[in-house]
Amino acid sequence: MPRTPVLWRGSLFPLAAPALALFSWLWVNSQLATEDRYWAAGSATATSAAFLLGPLTAALAAREVGRVRDASAVFGRPVRTPARVVVDAVAPATAAGLVGVLAAYLTASWHLLGVPGGPDGRFVLLAVLVVVAHTAVGAAFGWWSRPLIAIPSCFILLYCWMALPIGVEPMWLRHLTGFTDWGLAVYLEVDPAGVWAPILVNGGVLVAFALALACSAPDRSPRSTATGAVLCAAVLVPALAGGISTARHLGPDPVVLRAAPDECFDGPVTLCVYPEDLDRVEEIRAGVDLAVAELTSRGFPAPTRAIHGVGADDEETWTFTMNAFSSPESLASSIVAAQVPSMPEGCGGMGTYLTYYLALDWLTTAEDEFDDPELNEHWAALHRLPEEDQLAWFHGARDAVAACGSHLDALGPEVS
């Protein structure tokens, strides 16, 4: 007696499972090489492998169902329900897809060995749902059309569904698919809507398929086909509407700022970092100390706290961001540069741009000559001021940039 159901014999599982696992390993390795060592990023990256695992699993499912479909005339009227027959037929394809998901998460786990936390259950659920929902769609293709048509067409269509929305409008479309390649930094976390929207859509597809199978008659009578179609629509339409309504407000990446870290270390400057960076505290402190030295030499007061994350800095508290590759020097540079706030979205005035670049350049002493002659004149005017006036101009410029304004007038009418 074979240990597996007979349809596993002659299925593509033995070839497909290692191939999908290899793809997952390559994908997650390449993506996580540049990501923060952070489980939210690891989970999103592992789940993002579904952009290819899904369509490949669908093509496999179409092929496996096609085997039974081609031979179905020989078996006459089965006692098993169509649902049971199809589920049995697609089991090898589904298993191959899930091996791919498992490989993606094992690769992520290997990358994140020692990092506090573990895989995010929502992402695991999403990955499984995407793969199984794709299996369902592939099975439907395989059941209703010949393998020669079903296999390539379901792969191409589903690959387009997964890969194309990222480059098209409306923005929410990309958040329905389950392609979660978001690059989550440690100070960010996923907006739950970004995960629940594709869970709703993929779950809807799966439930619709299950209902269609449950009410399909072996003779594919028009009545059972119509009932199945109505039930499918009754599930798919609300699932899709729910997904769209959940995803409508999301930006390109569905991320939100993570709560400020509460692991703080005393010192001349109290340093607060996320649990993922506890093994880099000394390195981070070295970077903060370099920044403090740099900024105090320019007349800035030393802060009392430095916090990993994004927030409004004041004299008491600095915030900083970094990534897995930040050195103390690069961290110090970014802390220094962060004293000039980014221009708010929609600032279009030339005065704001010039104020911003001039303030940034003054702070980081990056250049003393620009291609823009107007900027050169401003630069020269700024550096002619006494040091305390330069610092006062900088603070004024910082406030002006934050308000989308210009602070060039303060350098004198002859250059403004």
Partner 1 sequence: MDNLWEIQGKAYSAMLTAHGITFSYDGRKSTLTDVSIHVRSGRTIVLGPNGAGKTTLLNVLAGNVSARAGSVALSVGDGVPPVQPRDRARYARAVGWLPQRATPVRGLRVREQVAYSGWLKGMSRTTAWEAALPALDQVGMAAHAQDRANRLSGGQLRRVTLAQCLVHGSRVLLLDEPTAGLDPRERDRFAEILLGLPAEVAVVVSTHDVVDLVEVVGQVVVLNGGRVVFTGTPAEFLDHGDPSLPASRQAASAYSALVEERTHA
- 386 lies in the binding site for partner 1 (CB under 8 A): no
Residue 68 interacts with partner 1 (CB under 8 A): yes or no: yes
Residues in the chain: 416
Residue range at the interface with partner 1 (CB under 8 A); choices 9-17, 98-106, 128-136, 166-174: 9-17
Contact 382, 358 (CB under 8 A): yes
- List the structure tokens of 285: 């402190």
Q: In whole angstroms, give the CA distance from residue 11 to residue 60.
A: 9
Does 148 participate in binding partner 1 (rule CB under 8 A)? no
Work out how close the CB of 223 gets to partner 1 at its nearest, in angstroms, rounded to a whole number: 11
Among 30, 34, 80, 121, binds partner 1 (CB under 8 A): 80
H-run or E-run covering 289: helix 281-297
In three-state secondary structure terms, 272 is strand
Stretch that binds partner 1, among 3-11, 133-141, 171-179, 262-270 (CB under 8 A): 3-11
Tell me which residue of 157, 257, 254 sits closest to 199, measured CA to CA.
Answer: 254
396 binds partner 1 (CB under 8 A): no
By the rule CB under 8 A, 149 interacts with partner 1:
no
Q: How far is the CB of 228 from partner 1 (least distance, A)?
A: 17
The closest alpha carbon to 202, from 152, 236, 166, belongs to 236
Binding test (CB under 8 A) with partner 1, winner from 30, 78, 251, 399 = 78
Binding span for partner 1 by CB under 8 A among 2-10, 156-164, 169-177, 285-293: 2-10
- 407 alpha carbon, distance to own chain's centre: 38
- The residues in 214-243 that bind partner 1, with binding defined as CB under 8 A, are 218-219, 221
Alpha carbon distance 344, 350 (integer Å): 14
In the set 5, 252, 311, 344, which binds partner 1 (CB under 8 A)?
5
Residues 84, 156: Cα–Cα separation, whole Å:
27
67 in contact with partner 1 (CB under 8 A): yes
**Closer Cβ to partner 1, 9 or 248, answer by number:** 9
Identify whether 170 is preceded by a cis peptide bond (ω within 30 of 0).
yes
Contact status, residue 82 vs residue 213, Cβ threshold 8 Å: yes
Query: Is 14 near partner 1 (CB under 8 A)?
Result: no
Provide the binding-site residues for partner 1, judged by CB under 8 A. 1-2, 5-7, 9-11, 67-68, 70-71, 73-80, 85, 218-219, 221
